[in-house]
Amino acid sequence: MSGVLVADHVTKTFSAGGSDVVALRDLSLEIAEGEFVCLIGASGCGKSTLLNMFAGFIQPSAGQLLLRGQPITGIEPRCGVVFQSYALFPWKTVRGNVEFGLKMKGVPAAERHRIADKFIDLVKLNGFENHYPVELSGGMQQRVTLARILAADPEVLLMDEPFAALDAMTRQVMQEELLRIHEQSRKTTVFVTHHVDEALILSDRIIVLSARPGRVKAIVANNLPRPRRVDIQLSPDFAKMKAEIWGHVEEEVRKHVEATRLSSAAG
């Protein structure tokens, strides 16, 4: 296996309240250098679990995860995470948050300042450097997390439904910015979403996970031309691919709905 990021026959079981939940079963996948991969699947199918294992927050029950061929055994700063709930430090200003990774690397203050400026600029938050996160809207906060992780310059970006909490319009703006940033940096990215449209707009490849326990259900290459803008959604190719992906996803969502109906009827 040669990918930057590899999941090799990974199984993850949680024990919760006496019973075991198999979140992922025997999942294998590989992500290439510079690739933008979207993971898509019904809620509860183990998308966050997989991302948390790539980040080293949790360990698999079986199988292994590799970063450039090396097993991931602890929290891995080379895999930078963008959290759905932002996870900004409330006591730090925008600048303080963006500089955090650099500070941890021991970059001198002046250099930190310069680099932070560059990324605050990139996510268009100039003028807000000295604001605290509570003073910003959700979309602005998510841009700070983006700038924070980009300034830390990890080898891989792991993004767990980063735009899920945003309203539809802000979400589009953020998608466009992420497209622009990715097309400039070409940083390997794993992006979790449950929006088929979002996956098609952003990705080079879409991995559809099955309902729990999650496994790879389908892999679809996304050959929509780059550079892209969000108006790619209007193209006929987009509609064709959307129908294809939705075909894979729908069945799994149905299974998920059935399963929850059964378990709630039983419980």
Partner 1 sequence: MTIGNATEQVANSGTNGRPKSRPSLIHIILLVNVLSVLAFVGLWALSTGLGWVAPIFLPSPSAVAAQASKLIDSGELWIAVLSSSRRVFLGFALATVIAVPLGILMGVWWPAKAIVDPFVSLLRPLPSITWIPLTILWLGIGESQKIAIVFMGSWLYILLATIEATKRVDPLLIRAARNLGANDLAVMREVILPGALPGILAGLKITLAISWSCVLSAEMVAAQNGLGALIWQAKDWGNLPLVLVGMVGISFTVLLADALAERIERLLQPWERHRRS
Ligand X SMILES: Nc1ncnc2c1ncn2[C@@H]1O[C@H](COP(=O)(O)OP(=O)(O)O)[C@@H](O)[C@H]1O
Contact residues toward Mg ion (CB under 5 A) are 48
CB of 89 to partner 1, least distance (A): 6
For ligand X, the closer of residues 23 and 115 by Cβ is 23
For Mg ion, the closer of residues 48 and 188 by Cβ is 48
CB of 63 to Mg ion, least distance (A): 20
29 CA to centre of own chain: 15
CB of 82 to ligand X, least distance (A): 14
Q: Which of residues 200-229 bind ligand X (CB under 6 A)?
A: 212
Task: Name which of partner 1, Mg ion, ligand X, none residue 21 binds, using a CB cut-off of 5 to 8 Å depending on partner kind.
Answer: ligand X
Q: Which of residues 49-108 bind ligand X (CB under 6 A)?
A: 49
Among 38, 40, 48, 65, binds ligand X (CB under 6 A): 48
46 binds ligand X (CB under 6 A): yes
For ligand X, the closer of residues 3 and 46 by Cβ is 46
Return residues touching partner 1 (CB under 8 A).
55, 57, 75-77, 79-81, 83, 85, 87, 89-92, 100-101, 104-105, 132-135, 148-149, 152
Task: Name which of partner 1, Mg ion, ligand X, none residue 113 binds, using a CB cut-off of 5 to 8 Å depending on partner kind.
Answer: none
Residues lying near ligand X in the complex (CB under 6 A) are found at 14, 16, 21, 23, 41, 43-49, 212
